[in-house]
Amino acid sequence: MSATQFDLSVVLQGKYAEWLLEGLKTTIELSSISCVLAFFLGLNIAIMRMSGFSPVRWFAQCYLEFFRNTPLIVQLFFWYFGSYQILPKPVNAFLNNYNFEFVAAVIALTFYTSAFIAEDIRSGITAIPKEQMEASRSSGFSYIRSMHYIILPQAVRHTIPPLINQFLNLTKNSSMAMVIGVGELTYQARQIESQAFKSFEAFFAATFIYVCISFFITILVTWYDRKVLNPLGKGTH
């Protein structure tokens, strides 16, 4: 028997190409929305984690431990199958008017990634000399205003490279959304494989697209490090 011939053109034309483009579009939408929400949620959790009010700090710590130590695929199933049990009926009715699978994936990716982003931001905050906080407080700034105007702008600036790595991880993790029926890139590649019987070609195309996305984000990180954080070519500390 002759070996099956590799023919990438089969998945790069007609309806299969349209499926890949639709999957890429869904992946970008899913990743972009989740990245924005995860950043702002992680930012607030990081601030809460460093609060002087014990209940707030304990809540943030429990949040981090729970979402960092629970597999993402479990969280996807939890929000997809369990949201009807924990969300109010009006909220569930509202979500049913949209793509519920997509919404569940956004929620899971947001909570999961925000826990890692919170730790990155907290590391950036702790890297800022504590004298800056003391100076701002002695100047009459409250804790919140000191964080908002003095500490966070510096911390986030130096946390951008690891944050972009988290966004890259989120983009790759979005492929797990296929398990709850989200038509992202991996899901569409699986559909092509099942109809065209071109497993290698379908997943080769999907892999190439993921590599291109990762390459773009890597270039972005490199540019930011050279042009913004390290314009004189000195080592970043």
* Per-residue pLDDT reduced to its tens digit, 17-44: 999 999 999 999 999 999 999 999 999 9
Q: Give the integer Cα–Cα distance in Å for 105 and 30.
A: 8
The per-residue b/e assignment along 13-30, b for 16 or more CB within 10 angstroms, e otherwise, is eeebeebbeebbebbeeb
Mean pLDDT of 230-234: 56
Strands (E) located in the chain? none
- CATH 3.20.20.450 is held by the domain 12-229: no
Q: Give the integer Cα–Cα distance in Å for 183 and 192.
A: 12
Amino acid, single-letter form, for residue 158: H
- What pTM did the predictor assign? 0.84
* Per-residue pLDDT reduced to its tens digit, 166-209: 989 999 999 999 999 998 999 999 999 888 888 888 999 999 99
